[in-house]
Structure 1
Amino acid sequence: MSIASHHEQFAELSNGTTLCYSEHGDKNDPAVILIAGLGLQMVYWPASFIQALTTAGFRVICYDNRDAGRSSRSNTPHPSTLQQLLGKAPKECYGLEHMADDTALLLTRLDIGQAHVVGMSMGGMIAQTLSYRHPEKVASLTSIFSTTGNRRVGQPAASTLWRLARAKSPNTHLEAIDNYCEMMNHIGDKNAPHALLHWQQYAKLAWQRNGSRSDTRALQRQIGAIMRSGDRTQALAKIKAPALIIHGDVDHMVHPSGGEATARAIGHARHIVIEGMRHQIDSALSHRLAQHILDHIQTGASDAA
């Protein structure tokens, strides 16, 4: 499993946010935009996954969310540890709505009227929010191992929460690699081809792209965005775009009940549970996931016709 090569560019949005992004494939092809999860960067998406989509005739856009990678940092407050435990975000923090607006503005900046939107984990939440907040921008929605914001579903396993609670901010790239590999060894699939090597490569590159620092407050602000937006179940019912919900049955980060609840809330969504899939997109899964997405896009286009 290899890290994709990106030609990094920057888009200054009208709301003052600057996003780092890259494009793959022919600019004349229909667009697919990939939205990464909590604290993750656009370099997370495997090269094989991106290639499967471009080979099928799609223009793929990857980008760093605000407060991640090489995109701009917010100056809004971050939730304290106590606020995170209580689930109460500071009033001044941004929400998933603002991150969805970032995505819509990026599409406008790139002169893309409508895109097929794919998000994983927190990125799935952003993709869902984009779909009901800016429906004109969304040709189809794919939400991968994500949830609705209802705290009764999609919660991490107790073993995951324990690891998150004891995690310490890294001071060096070696500590960052160790931290990431330790967590992925728990929530990911260590038996996937070259999994450990890929984790190490990603963590090292992410550290470098993050300015060789941990930037814990940026991560906490993203957590605050999830907390502020809360339960989006009722809003999800407004989604009209063709929707595909994908989840694994062995997910220790976002319990499979999160995917089930998302599909129920949207109503017309197709729900696929992949046996043995954990909270990881790897080379072994890339072509399978891409094929599900391509079938979904084709089915949605056929239904629209």
Structure 2
Amino acid sequence: MTVIVPTGADNPLGGARVTGMPKASTNGVELEYETFGDPAAEPLLLIMGLGTQMTAWPDPFCGMIADAGYHVIRFDNRDSGLSTMVDAPVPDFGQLLGGDLSGVPYRMSDLASDAAGLLDVLDIPAAHVVGASMGGMIGQQMAIDHPRRVRSLCSIMSTTGARDVGQPAPEVLMLVFAPAAKTREEAIDRGQKMFETIGSPAYPTPTEALRTRIGEAYDRSYAPAGTARQLACIIASPDRTAALGSVTVPAAVVHGEADKLVDVSGGYATAAALGVTPLIIAGAGHDLPEELWETYVGAIVENARRAA
């Protein structure tokens, strides 16, 4: 969701991080995670998107899924939040967009293996997998690479990796490639501009609440170089369209009709690749407005129950 990245070296403030809960060591990284609900219930893994921490899955949202009978697990992807920050320089996006992938330290398959490894640490053979934005890409790749670990798949505001679908609007690209903020206040201002641009036009978040949320995320962890490496991963990873045809678990695709970060064509393409009918939400953008929590949770739970 928040995708402002540096154009050069990492911002010196990017190392500021708070102390979190115990982490899961897997696949060469440590992942910060948290759970909700009864550990004996069916596990459901929430995967968040580009430059976005696990706390972007709101606590009440996680609680709603748990109340529906699931053991909910959310975590920070590598290079975000309180999980491992990869020891690698920020990729040169000029070279990357020119086809030179040598500076990209990991691919979507690595992030999918991170998620599967978290299940290993938690002694969970398989889970319902729900991903938003880049998290949807990770979930898709997990269903492709680790099919026995996925009970059901729900891809939200995401895309297949095909270059002709799911692309950002021009005004969003300008924000995506803006230099990293140098102060907390600047980061909040930038985040506000981004969310006001990509958020749901029919369900806007009040400005004060939005700025508070962005400030809390900044205080927990601010790592623009990590976001840049994740963005490079998205660009460098191959199209998943053909491989998604092999996914046999129950699948759902949810997308906002007004999404300016991942165009709704990405949702249609994902649904077509999976052979399902997408749920397209009028007036929704690239966020999780509280007014739509019941809609999103309902789609997640309905799809998960089909796996039974």
Normalised TM-score (structure 2): 0.89
Q: Matched residues in 2 for 1:78 and 1:236: separation?
A: 30
Q: Deviations for 1:46-72, whole angstroms, at most 9, x for unmatched residues? A: 233112101111111110000001001
Q: Matched residues in 2 for 1:92 and 1:224: separation?
A: 6
User: What pairs up with 1:221-240 in 2 under 5 angstroms?
Assistant: 221-240=229-248
Matched, 1:22 2:34: yes
How far residue 163 of structure 1 moved from its aligned partner, in angstroms, is 2.6
Identity among equivalent positions (%) equals 38
> Would you say the 8 A contact 1:170–1:176 is kept in 2?
yes
Q: Which has the higher contact order (CA 8 A, sep 6+)?
A: 2
Which runs of no fewer than 5 residues in structure 1 stay unpaired? 1-6
Q: Deviations for 1:34-88, whole angstroms, at most 9, x for unmatched residues? A: 1011000011112331121011111111100000010011123432131344354
Q: Matched residues in 2 for 1:107 and 1:257: separation?
A: 31
The letter of the residue matching 1:113 is P
Matched, 1:243 2:255: no
Q: Please name the residue that 1:108 is paired with.
A: 120
Q: Please name the residue that 1:44 is paired with.
A: 56
Matched, 1:300 2:284: no
> Would you say the 8 A contact 1:195–1:282 is kept in 2?
no
Q: Deviations for 1:146-194, whole angstroms, at most 9, x for unmatched residues? A: 00111101000112112323x2311222111111111101100366375
Q: Deviations for 1:118-170, whole angstroms, at most 9, x for unmatched residues? A: 000000000000011111110100000100111101000112112323x2311
Q: Please name the residue that 1:277 is paired with.
A: 284
CA RMSD, 1 decimal? 1.8
Change (3 A) 1:298 1:15: closer
SS in 1 for 2:46: strand
Q: Matched residues in 2 for 1:283 and 1:228: separation?
A: 33
Of 67, 70, 75, the match for 1:55: 67
Matched, 1:10 2:22: yes
Of 237, 249, 270, the match for 1:262: 270
| Corresponding pairs, count | 290
Q: Matched residues in 2 for 1:271 and 1:97: separation?
A: 24
Q: Which runs of 4+ in 1 moved over 6 A?
A: none
User: What pairs up with 1:23-102 in 2 under 5 angstroms?
Assistant: 23-86=35-98, 88-90=100-102, 93-102=105-114
SS in 2 for 1:53: helix
Q: Please name the residue that 1:4 is paired with.
A: none
The letter of the residue matching 1:292 is A
Q: Please name the residue that 1:179 is paired with.
A: 190
Q: Matched residues in 2 for 1:191 and 1:23: separation?
A: 31
Which runs of no fewer than 5 residues in structure 2 stay unpaired? 1-18
User: What pairs up with 1:181-220 in 2 under 5 angstroms?
Assistant: 181-189=192-200, 192=203, 194-210=205-221, 214-220=222-228
Q: Matched residues in 2 for 1:217 and 1:56: separation?
A: 37
How far residue 89 of structure 1 moved from its aligned partner, in angstroms, is 2.8
Q: Please name the residue that 1:287 is paired with.
A: 294
Normalised TM-score (structure 1): 0.90
> Would you say the 8 A contact 1:13–1:102 is kept in 2?
no
